């Protein structure tokens, strides 16, 4: 039975979809329009009480929080498709460490840039340039740490691609595209090579292809 993924048009669901593709897991998508407030509808809140995307339904199993969903499928289907968790407890510990870094150090600043530069203009709210400058500076400091880490290993958790790298794909795609700050990646040699590697994966190309066709 295909996994139902709610809200494919948005970044956090797209990291789940990329994970499912890497694992060779069948999925179907259910559109949810944030601009129409469909994520705050009673039926949706039954699935996700905080009213945010994504949610997945796999038979009678429902899960929200994109990183928890990825960890679930990466573990349940560890031997299928790409191993995204590393080959030892120590490697998995590093995957979890860098996934937490993505969630708590990287995501807040890139999410702020996304809201300010992509979402606010779409709803007629003025962009707060001071907030943009602050987020850009803080994100730059995070990317400086990534540059040092990626000068020591090909991927964040080590010499293997993992959930930690995959989780960065959707919002970094925004950063180099509609947010218009590709320089933040290209000005850092190792981060730039890392981005070319992970965004060049077939799974991410497939996500972008599906997105271009409107899911
Ligand atoms: N921690 C959650 C956050 C999800 C989240 O913030 N989703 C956004 C969409 S996305 O931009 O992250 O893809 C959302 O639903 N925002 C609407 C809202 O939260 O009201 C996760 O990773 O699933």
Q: Is 107 in the pocket of ligand 1 (CB under 6 A)?
A: no
139 lines ligand 1 (CB under 6 A): no
- pLDDT by residue (tens digit) across 37-55? 999 999 999 999 999 999 9
29 lines ligand 1 (CB under 6 A): no
Provide the pLDDT for residue 93: 98
Residue listed under structure tokens 């300010």:
116
Phi, psi of 124 (to 5 degrees): 80, 20
Ligand 1 pocket mutation, candidates 47, 52, 104, criterion most atoms within 8 A of CB: 52
Question: In the structure encoding, which two tokens stand for residue 85, read together?
Answer: 């968790």
- Of all protein residues, the one whose alpha carbon is nearest to atom 14 of ligand 1 is 52
SS3 content of the chain, % helix, strand, coil (to 5): 60, 5, 30
> What per-residue confidence (pLDDT) applies to 23?
98
- In testing the pocket of ligand 1, which one of 13, 36, 53 has its CB within 8 Å of the most ligand atoms? 53
pLDDT of residue 147: 98
Complex ipTM: 0.98
| Ligand 1 centroid, distance to 66 Cα (angstroms) | 9
Ligand 1 centroid–CA 9 distance in Å is 11
Flag residues of the chain having pLDDT under 70: none
CB of 14 within 6 A of ligand 1: the answer is: no
- Residue 24 near residue 33 (C-beta atoms within 8 A): no
70: Cα within 13 Å, side-chain hemisphere? 30
CB 73 within 8 A of CB 25: yes
CA of 152 to the centre of ligand 1 (A): 32
Predicted pLDDT at 202: 98
């Amino acid at each position: 039975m295909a996994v139902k993924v709610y809200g494919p048009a948005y970044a956090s669901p797209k990291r789940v979809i990329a994970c499912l593709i890497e694992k060779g897991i069948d999925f179907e998508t259910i559109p949810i329009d944030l601009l129409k407030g469909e994520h705050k509808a009673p039926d949706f809140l039954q699935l996700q009480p905080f009213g945010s995307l994504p949610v997945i339904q796999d038979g009678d199993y429902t899960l929200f929080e994109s990183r928890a969903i990825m960890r679930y499928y990466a573990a349940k289907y560890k031997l299928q498709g790409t191993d995204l968790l590393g080959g030892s407890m120590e490697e998995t510990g590093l995957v979890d460490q860098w996934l937490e870094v993505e969630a708590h150090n990287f995501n807040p600043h890139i999410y702020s840039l996304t809201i300010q530069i992509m979402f606010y203009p779409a709803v007629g709210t003025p962009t707060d340039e001071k907030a943009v400058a602050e987020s850009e500076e803080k994100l730059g400091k995070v990317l400086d740490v990534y540059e040092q880490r990626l000068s020591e290993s090909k991927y964040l958790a080590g010499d293997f691609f993992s959930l930690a790298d995959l989780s960065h794909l959707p919002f970094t795609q925004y950063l180099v595209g509609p947010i218009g700050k590709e320089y933040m990646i290209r000005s850092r040699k190792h981060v730039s090579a890392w981005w070319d590697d992970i965004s060049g994966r077939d799974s991410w190309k497939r996500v972008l292809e599906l997105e271009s066709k409107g899911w």
